[in-house]
Structures are given as C-alpha cells and as structure tokens.
Amino acid sequence: MTHTVTRTLCGMVLLIVTTHAASALPGSPQQRAEMFATCAGRLQAMATRQRADRDPDANQTERFSADFLMLLEATLPAAIADGLTPQQAVTWRSSGWVEVAYLLADRYYSHDPTRIDRATQRLSERLSHCRDLILPG
C-alpha cells in the first residue's frame, strides 16, 4: 500500500472515529495523539497477556491496537506541527503499556483481594475507554 493511500485511509478512519466519538475526543491534535498512543500501548499490553494465556481474543485486541496506531499516524502530522516531538508519542505508547502491565500484575499475582478487585476494575475501565472510542455505544 502506498504512503498516500495509507494516509488517506488513516484520515477516513479518523473522520469516522471523530464523528462517532466527538464528545470523548480531546480538541487538540497533541491530546488526540496522546490518547491514541496510550490506547495503542494499553491494548498491546493486554494482547501480550492474552497471547500468554492462549486467549482467542488476542488477535482482536491486537487489531484494536493497530487501529489506534493508524489513528496516531493520521494525527501525528498535526500534533508535530503544534510542537509535539515524535519521541513523545513513543513515550505515551510505552506509558499505556506499562500502566496495563502493572494492573495485570496486581490482578494475577497479588494476594490481597482488595488490590485484585481494584486492579480488575481499573483495567476494565481503561480498556473500555479505548474500545468505546472506536466502537461507541
């Protein structure tokens, strides 16, 4: 796929997502880039855990992560024009991954039931937030 076709598809996906989730998306390109990068990282971490557990949902989760990477790619030029460095997007993606990795560690390895419940709830909230951006309603 050529770069022009890829950018066009990314733009169309971004338009669809912003049409369906306009109230949930931040206004500035930098804030959108942060959200897309963070969600890509969160979902990639979840997919990693799902693959380790041989969960059949891992492929779907990876596709969601790829969707967010595509949205990030579509948003990045405007965010860079506003002063964002490309390295910051990588940092946000890594932060999303680490956030979910810590919650998964608490969920699977803690001996404290309260901590497990809290981690499970926070994990669900963060992943739902990301999924709701692409699959609203």
Give how many domains the chain has, as a whole number: 1
18 in a structural domain:
no
In a domain, 59, yes or no: yes
Write down the pLDDT at residue 19: 47
- Examine residue 33 and state whether it is found in any structural domain, yes or no: yes
Residue 113 within a domain: yes
Q: Which pLDDT score is estimated for 5?
A: 46
CA within 13 Å, CB half, 122: 17
Of 99 and 19, which is predicted with more confidence?
A: 99
Say whether pLDDT at 100 is over 80.
yes
Angle (CA) 133 135 137, round 5°: 95
**For residues 123, 90, 131 and 111, what is the CA-based torsion angle, rounded to 10 degrees?**
-10
User: Is 80 domain-assigned?
Assistant: yes
Q: Is residue 24 part of a domain?
A: no
List pLDDT tens digits, range 7-62: 554 544 554 444 444 446 778 999 999 999 999 999 999 999 999 999 999 999 99
What is the domain extent for residue 126?
3-13+29-134
* Verdict on whether the full-model pTM lies above 0.85: no
Please check whether residue 19 lies inside any domain of the structure. Answer: no
